[in-house]
């Protein structure tokens, strides 16, 4: 299985194929999600003291707080998928 890592800033990376959603932290439910994640010890803050602009919800229940916007994360995912190293090496996905 190929793991796609996306740079979140400050030398932090995330496996984007383990991400369920990327949301903005502005709404009351998002703020409750952050607080609940902190209380349970499942929040990972990679903002380096800057304002949280995106919340990444992972498939194992962890939440990652990032200092870049959801739009920036989406554009980085699209850019990474345009340059697929598997295509360069001749590796292909197995047929299902």
pLDDT average per 10 residues of sequence, the chain (96 residues):
90 96 97 98 97 98 97 94 65 55
pTM of the model: 0.82
Q: What are phi and psi of 17, to 5 degrees?
A: -75, -5
Residue with tokens 């699209």: 78
Longest CA–CA span in the chain (Å) reads 47
Terminal CA-CA length for the chain: 14
């Amino acid at each position: 299985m190929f793991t796609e890592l996306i740079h979140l800033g400050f030398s932090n990376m995330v496996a984007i194929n383990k991400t369920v959603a990327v949301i903005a932290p502005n709404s009351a439910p998002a703020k409750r999600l952050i607080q609940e994640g902190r209380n349970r010890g499942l929040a990972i803050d990679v903002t380096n003291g800057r304002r949280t602009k995106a919340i990444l919800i992972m498939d194992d229940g962890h939440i990652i707080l990032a200092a870049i916007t959801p739009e920036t994360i989406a554009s980085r995912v699209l850019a990474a998928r345009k340059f697929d190293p598997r295509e360069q090496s001749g590796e292909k996905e197995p047929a299902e």
